[in-house]
Amino acid sequence: MMLSFAALCLAIPAATNAFATSGATASGSSFALFSTLEAPKREAPGAGYVPEWENRPGLSEEEFMKSDMSKPDLSGMWECPLTKWDSDNIDIKQAQKEAAQAPNCPLEVRASDSDNQMGAEYFAKNKDKLREDLLKHGAIWFRGFDLMKGVAGHREMYEALELQPCLDPLHSSGLRKFSSERDALYEEVNKPSLRGHYIGLHSESTTKRTAAYAAFVCFQKATEGGGRFLVADGAAILAELDTKLLEKLYERKIRISVSNLDIPPSLPGFVKEGVKGLVDAAVAPKFDMDLEMMYEMDGKPGRLQAVEIAESPINRHPVTGLPVWFNNAHNHARKLRDRRPCGVPEVGMTEVFYADTMDTLSLEDCQEIKRASEKHITALAMEPGDVLLVDNYRALHGRDVFQGDRYHAVSWFTWDDNEEWRGDERRMVEKNGLNKAMNSMMDWLPKDFESNQS
């Protein structure tokens, strides 16, 4: 999970922003130190399976954005449920053996002519089998279904499967934009300014909140190429990873820094502490994450980082009990981001730490995470109407760079059969007002300052 503190910076007093701006000159010596480091070479990440494009036609934007106004407005949906952690007493070798037996992810389901004639009825009729397959395989790639070529049909599909929509885990930050709020549909990262930015593997998850399932839909694929949607099995990655590395990471645990605010290191300590307290008290709560504000964890003088609490890199699936790699390091590790296409400014750059010492992950460990993760990536060729249904505790997702224009969207879902798993929060009215205000600010912000929702 990644978010930017750009909105956060806007929300803190002007004096603090002035500190950050003046840091460019006040901390000249430390910047010089950083600039003397040779930048690593950037290379396109790999994938294990790259299916062919089929060039199936879509609808015009006017057509695919149509909502069925006879259906109720879903904007009062559930909050994203709290993360279900079940990560104590895991025997790593045994967990790897178990994970290696998991069925292939994703399952591919291609529409026949008669399936397409059935429309939403296909999903209603096959609901039990499809829900079972989702748990078994971790993801289902629906290919060639006419129904989901537009917003209204996408909703018909997930309603037929009886999936219950919820908010994005970072909804309260205001950084996530709806595609069609009344249909519980968010926009993915389609912005031209972020098309050159590779989004690494992650679950839609913070240590605090995790969506149970997701349905990623393509209405328009990238007009000039690229934009493959990435999916990888957390069980397969767990089975693949070097056992010694897993044992180390499991024992030491992981912490993720989600944003940087650079303060001139020459400022007196009490001023820096004041800035830290201000950000911590006034702005961080809006992100609804368990964050700790920490100075200079990545070695950069004056850098204030917002760091999530320690978490296990391995979790047992809440329903099946299957042990899986449940960690966003492939997306967030700085050493990996610096070696692939990445268009995020420093304020939005992330980092991954060993939780016990707060050292950043070594290059060697990052490279092993990269190798094991990318070997199991399927780089989907999603065409208009294609949907990837994802079990968000089992499979990780991401997005390759693209050229031209693209329109993908996503709905998040909560648990359907256990009241206590949902958490008890419906959407809060005051948050809604705040989100709208922040989203309108985001419209005129430089578009690089955005969240990272593939």
Binding residues vs Fe ion (CB under 5 A): 204, 453-454
The minimum distance between CB 230 and Fe ion, in angstroms, equals 10
Residues 6+ apart with CB under 8 A from 301: 27, 30, 265
The minimum distance between CB 332 and Fe ion, in angstroms, equals 12
CB atoms closer than 10 angstroms to residue 6: 21
Please tell me the distance from the alpha carbon of residue 189 to that of residue 197, in angstroms, as a whole number.
Answer: 10
Q: Which CB sits closer to Fe ion, 92 or 163?
A: 163
Q: Which CB sits closer to Fe ion, 378 or 453?
A: 453
Please tell me the distance from the alpha carbon of residue 237 to that of residue 397, in angstroms, as a whole number.
Answer: 13
Q: Which CB sits closer to Fe ion, 210 or 257?
A: 210
The minimum distance between CB 257 and Fe ion, in angstroms, equals 18
> Taking a C-beta distance cutoff of 8 angstroms, is the pair 52, 228 a contact?
no
- Cα dist. 31→22, 147, 409 in Å? 13, 54, 39
Please tell me the distance from the alpha carbon of residue 186 to that of residue 177, in angstroms, as a whole number.
Answer: 6
| CB-count burial class (<10 Å; 0-12, 13-18, 19+) for 180 | buried
The minimum distance between CB 206 and Fe ion, in angstroms, equals 12
Q: Which CB sits closer to Fe ion, 4 or 453?
A: 453
Q: Which CB sits closer to Fe ion, 204 or 450?
A: 204
Q: CA triplet 14, 3, 396: central angle to 5 degrees?
A: 175
Q: Which CB sits closer to Fe ion, 279 or 390?
A: 390
Candidates 262, 259, 299, 261; CA nearest to 26 is 262
Partners of 259 in beta bridges: 306
With CB atoms as reference, the residue minimizing the distance to Fe ion is 454
The minimum distance between CB 3 and Fe ion, in angstroms, equals 11
Phi, psi of 30 (to 5 degrees): -70, -35
Q: Which CB sits closer to Fe ion, 123 or 325?
A: 325
Q: Which CB sits closer to Fe ion, 326 or 354?
A: 326
CB atoms closer than 10 angstroms to residue 281: 10
Q: 């968000």: which residue's tokens?
A: 392
Q: Which CB sits closer to Fe ion, 202 or 303?
A: 202
The minimum distance between CB 154 and Fe ion, in angstroms, equals 17
Phi, psi of 154 (to 5 degrees): -60, -45
The minimum distance between CB 349 and Fe ion, in angstroms, equals 17
The minimum distance between CB 63 and Fe ion, in angstroms, equals 26
Please tell me the distance from the alpha carbon of residue 183 to that of residue 232, in angstroms, as a whole number.
Answer: 27
Helix H or strand E segment including 270: helix 269-278
> Taking a C-beta distance cutoff of 8 angstroms, is the pair 178, 170 a contact?
no
The minimum distance between CB 203 and Fe ion, in angstroms, equals 8
